[in-house]
């Protein structure tokens, strides 16, 4: 699977949760892949909501978002999030800008939660670096 999300913003999200810990490149890659999978699954559900409403355009409300944040407040870029949203849905769907920003916000919150937990796991393992195993362990424990 090709990961659409650039690793740099994901690395920034992990680092803001890491405190004094270092972050391995593999951890950023693993989290980027997990974010992509989660975003794709959310878009499938959103497409079902749009279809139920007789629409071909995904809206922020289809992602359960009523108030959309300013995209400049987000670390995750909107263009790759748009590509993530389209990975598993039919080409017949469009994704509104508000839906893209809403999905980016949801995915950033998701990444913050995972990164915070990965930092706890790295501390627990008495390591100074967050590694991909910390991300994988989080998902084996909580999903």
Instruction: Return the domain boundaries, the chain.
Output: 7-142
What pTM value is reported for the model? 0.95
Summarised one tens digit per residue, pLDDT across range 106-122 is: 999 999 999 999 999 99
**Joined tokens for residue 120:** 């706890």
Summarised one tens digit per residue, pLDDT across range 41-70 is: 999 999 999 999 999 999 999 999 999 999
User: Is CATH 1.10.20.10 what the domain over 7-142 is classified as, yes or no?
Assistant: yes
């Amino acid at each position: 699977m090709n990961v659409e999300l650039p690793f740099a913003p994901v690395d920034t999200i992990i680092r803001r949760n890491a405190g004094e810990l270092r972050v391995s490149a593999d951890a950023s890659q693993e989290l980027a892949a997990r974010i992509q999978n989660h975003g794709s699954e959310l878009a499938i559900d959103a497409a079902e909501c749009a279809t139920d409403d007789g629409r071909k355009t995904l809206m922020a409300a289809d992602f359960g978002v009523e108030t959309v944040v300013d995209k400049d407040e987000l670390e995750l870029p909107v263009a790759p999030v748009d590509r993530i949203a389209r990975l598993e849905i039919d080409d017949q769907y469009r994704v509104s800008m508000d839906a893209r920003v809403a999905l980016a916000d949801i995915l950033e919150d998701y990444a913050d939660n995972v990164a915070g937990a990965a930092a706890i796991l790295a501390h627990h393992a008495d390591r100074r670096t967050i590694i991909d195993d910390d991300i994988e362990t989080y998902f084996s424990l909580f999903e």
